[in-house]
Structure 1
Amino acid sequence: MNSVSIVVGDLKSNSSTKKTYPIKEVIVNEAFSKDNNSNDIALLLTSESIRFHNFVQPVCYPDDFRLPIESLKNCWITTWALTNTSVKIPALQKAVLYHVKSCCFKMKENMICTNDDPHSNSGDSMGDNGGPLVCQDEREIWLIFGIVSFRSTDCNSANVFARIVRFKDWVIKTTALEGKPFIPQGASSQSKDLEVAEFVGG
C-alpha cells in the first residue's frame, strides 16, 4: 500500500502542522455489494499512529442506533474538487446537504439519502467517494453521520451515503482483529485525553 497515504493538518505546503501518513492496509467491508452499493465502507490502517493536537482533531462517532437524522442540523459534506480544471489544482470544498425521507429507489437501512441545497453547488462535489457527511446534534456537537457512497444521476440528484452508526459492530470487530481496538463511545463520553488513532474510515 505504498501508493496510498493520508494527509492531516494545514495542507499548505509550508505548514508545520501538515503530516503525511502512509496506509499500511485497506480493509473493505466483506459484505460490500457492487450491485447496490450496500455496506460501502472501508477502514484504512495507517503505518503509525496519527497524533492529535489543536490543528488535527477527530470527529465524534455516533453510538445511538436510534438517533434520527431528523434531529440533526447543519449537515455538511467536505470533498476534494478541482477549482481550476485547466491547471488541475485540487482544493478542499464544502457544501450543505438536506436529508430526504424517501428516495426514488429502494434504500437499505445502512444508507442515508440527501438532496442538494438548491442555492449551492454541492452536487458537483458528490463524486468524491469516501468523503464525510458531518452534522451537529441538539448539543451542537459534530458527529460523522455518513460516508459518500454514490450519486444517482437519474433520481432527482439524490446523494447516497453509508450510514455510519449501522457499522458500529463491524468497526469494533475489525479493529479488534487487527490488534488496534476502537470502541465508539459517542459524543456523550468524548474524551479530551484522546491523543492518537491508527484507523481512518472511508
Structure 2
Amino acid sequence: MELALLLLLVVKTVSGCGVPTYQPNTSRVVNGEEARPYSWPWQVSLESFFPTCGGTLIAPNWVLTAAHCITFHTYRVVLAEHDMNKEEGPEQSIMVEKMFIHPKWNDNCVSCGNDIALLKLEKSAVLNDKVQLACLPQDGAPLAHNQPCFVTGWGRLYSGGPQATTLQQALLPVVAHNVCSQSDWWGSSAKTTMVCAGGDSKSACHGDSGGPLNCKGRDGKWYIEGVTSFVDGRGCNTPQKPTVFTRVASFIPWISEIIAQN
C-alpha cells in the first residue's frame, strides 16, 4: 500500500503544471523588469553556439518554441537559467534529440503563421522547485481582450539595446483579434491562429522569440497561450503594432499528435 501511494504521489507531481514554487512578481510591472528567479520555471534558453531563442517546457522531454528559431542542426536547452553570465547551480543542460517544425511553416513569410516547433529532448528534465511544466490551453480556447499576460525572455531590453543577462518579464495585455486585424493595426498580417498582446511601450524584443506568453487561468494555473513570433520592423515598441504570438490553442491537435507519435 505504501508503494502504491508513493507512485500516485510521483505521478500527480509530474502531471501538475502551471504552478510555480516561487510566485512571479506580477504586481508592479510597467515596461518590463527582471523576473523573480525561477518564478517562470518552464522557461528555457534555446542555444546552439550561443543563446538564440526562448522556449517552454510542456512535458519532461518536450519543449515548445518558434519555427523561425530553428536555423541550426544542433541545439541544447538550458532549464533553471536566470543569469546568463553566471553558473548558479540549478541549471540543467539537455541536448535536443529531434526537431519538429510545423509542416505549413514558411520561413519566407512569418506573417503567414504556423510559426511553431516542438523539440524532443535526449532525456527528461528533472522536475523540481526550479524546473516545472507550463499548462497547455484547451483546443481553441479563447482569450479575452485586455486579459493580462506576461512575456518572458532574455531578449533586447529595447530596440537596438543590449541583450538582457537576467530573465525579464513584461505585462502584455491581450489585444482582441478584431482590434489587431484592423487596417491601422496589423491588418491582414494578424491571423486567427495568432495572439496579439501589448503594444506601445510594452513588447517582446529580439531574442525573446520562441518564448512563452504566460496567461493565468481561472483555475490559478499559468497557461502558455502564445509562442513569441514577431514584432514590427520599425522597432519593438511601435504603437498599434503589438507583439504577435503563435496562438497555442490553435495548434493543440498538432502538438498532441507529434508527442503521441514520438
For the criterion TM > 0.5, the same-fold answer is: yes
Residue range with higher mean Cα deviation, 96-105 or 122-131: 122-131
Q: Distance in 2 between matches of 1:14 and 1:128?
A: 21
Q: Distance in 2 between matches of 1:110 and 1:31?
A: 12
**Kept in 1: contact 2:200–2:240 (CA 8 A):** no
2:254 pairs with 148, 160, 170, which one? Answer: 170
In the alignment, what sits opposite 1:25?
98
Aligned AA for 1:163?
Answer: R
**Kept in 1: contact 2:226–2:248 (CA 8 A):** yes
**Kept in 1: contact 2:198–2:242 (CA 8 A):** yes
Q: Distance in 2 between matches of 1:111 and 1:86?
A: 26
| SS of alignment partner, residue 70 of structure 1 | coil
Report the CA distance shift for 1:57/1:156 in structure 2 as closer, same or farther (over 3 A). same
Report the CA distance shift for 1:9/1:149 in structure 2 as closer, same or farther (over 3 A). same
Structure 1 position 157 matched with structure 2 position 241: yes
Report the CA distance shift for 1:172/1:164 in structure 2 as closer, same or farther (over 3 A). same
In the alignment, what sits opposite 1:130?
210
Aligned AA for 1:76?
Answer: F
Shift of residue 138, structure 1, vs aligned partner:
2.0
Map Cα deviations across residues 67-93 of structure 1 (whole Å, 9 max, x no partner): 32118843100011356x999663211
Aligned AA for 2:114?
Answer: N
In the alignment, what sits opposite 1:148?
228
Shift of residue 109, structure 1, vs aligned partner:
1.8
- The size of the alignment, in residue pairs, is 173
**Kept in 2: contact 1:4–1:23 (CA 8 A):** yes
Q: Distance in 1 between matches of 2:209 and 2:192?
A: 19
Aligned AA for 2:259?
Answer: T
| SS of alignment partner, residue 259 of structure 2 | helix
Q: Gaps (5+ residues) in structure 1? A: 179-202
TM-score (norm 1): 0.74
In the alignment, what sits opposite 1:78?
152
Report the CA distance shift for 1:138/1:73 in structure 2 as closer, same or farther (over 3 A). farther
RMSD of aligned alpha carbons: 2.7
**Kept in 2: contact 1:129–1:147 (CA 8 A):** yes
Q: Distance in 2 between matches of 1:28 and 1:163?
A: 15
Shift of residue 175, structure 1, vs aligned partner:
1.6
How much identity, in percent, do the aligned residues show? 26
**Kept in 2: contact 1:10–1:55 (CA 8 A):** no
Pairs within 5 Å for 1:189-200: none
Q: Distance in 1 between matches of 2:145 and 2:198?
A: 17
Q: Distance in 1 between matches of 2:258 and 2:203?
A: 32
In the alignment, what sits opposite 1:116?
199
Report the CA distance shift for 1:37/1:90 in structure 2 as closer, same or farther (over 3 A). farther
Aligned AA for 1:24?
Answer: E
| SS of alignment partner, residue 24 of structure 1 | strand
Shift of residue 27, structure 1, vs aligned partner:
1.0
2:171 pairs with 75, 78, 96, which one? Answer: 96
In the alignment, what sits opposite 1:46?
121
Q: Distance in 2 between matches of 1:87 and 1:147?
A: 22
